Amino acid sequence: MTFSYGLLGALLLLLPGFAFVVGVRSGEPTNFATPRPDPPNSHATIFKIVTGALLVHTVGAAIFAFNEALYQHWHFISIEIDPNPYKMLLLKEAPSTVSSNGIAWEGIYFVFLTGLSLKAGEIFSRNDKNTTERYPQRFGWLLPIAEKIEKKSHLALGFVRTTSTHNGAWIGYEGLVQRVALDDDKGITMVVLEQCDRFLVEIANGEIRRIDSNSEQIAMMQFKESQIADFAIDLIDYDGGEQEESGSRPSHIRQLAKYLTNVLRQFKMRSSGREASDVPN
């Protein structure tokens, strides 16, 4: 394998840019619709890397400029060479002698820039909220639903019919929609439901029947794209904004959701024509 010092220098200069992108992804909010990462070789990703590296190196160059201005008035530490790596890169002049301490300090400097860039990307992403007003394109066909959930005026009740079967019937789940992930075509790739109830779906005599289970609720379930046959969302009108601001019921959403799902389950069990014991626990 041929070792290229030019490639090493390019990666070293772009390292803060890569750290910036990692920080942006780690700090990205994941409320309701999870943001999808940029595809490989994306122009947007390359732009973020180069821009992040340029901004951080500009800060680094400003630090050296401040150090030179300060050195004209106060001499704290004197070294034999100019420690500014940007002068070496622009003038293409390497110092004739470099001590081990000098190499170590240059490495520490680039590590410092990388950590600074990582934290800056994370802070930037957390302040740049993933809302329906700022990034409506991220939600696709879910935008009208996401807007109502974001205003805290509705609850999203999700229904997932899985590809698994039991005695010829499909197994399904219903619960509060906690998170949804979309692909590039805004198709469902992942669903997370809270307080799930299990049920069966069968087709008999040209009719679709739902058979509810008498099992306990499941706290949370995640479904991948390969496990989802059908997915539907039902919105429950609930104006929870005023209660949340007053602080009278801090867990009103979970309490209401649990109450509604219990009521729905009991109602469907009474109207079901098949015993719940046929459903797997």
- Express each pLDDT in 101-120 by its tens digit: 777 877 888 899 999 999 98
Chain centre to alpha carbon of residue 128: 13
Residue 72 and residue 22 share a domain:
yes
Residue 143 and residue 259 share a domain:
yes
* Pick from 85-89, 133-137, 174-178: least confident: 133-137
Residue 130, CA distances (Å) to 24, 33, 39, 97, 196 in order? 12, 9, 19, 51, 26
- Please enumerate in sequence order all residues whose Cβ is within 8 A of that of 213, keeping only pairs 6 or more positions apart, or say none: 197, 198, 199, 200, 276, 279, 280, 281
Instruction: Kindly report, residue by residue over 175-215, the tens digit of the pLDDT.
Output: 888 888 888 777 888 899 988 888 888 887 778 888 887 87
Residue 268 and residue 175 share a domain:
yes
Residue 157 and residue 64 share a domain:
no
Residue 182 and residue 110 share a domain:
no
pLDDT recorded at residue 96: 62
pLDDT at 31 > cutoff 60:
yes
- In angstroms, the CA 125 to CA 243 distance is 29
Residue 236 and residue 171 share a domain:
yes
For 174, the domain range is 136-278
Show which of 94, 127, 160 is a domain's final residue. Answer: 127
- Structural domains counted in the chain: 2
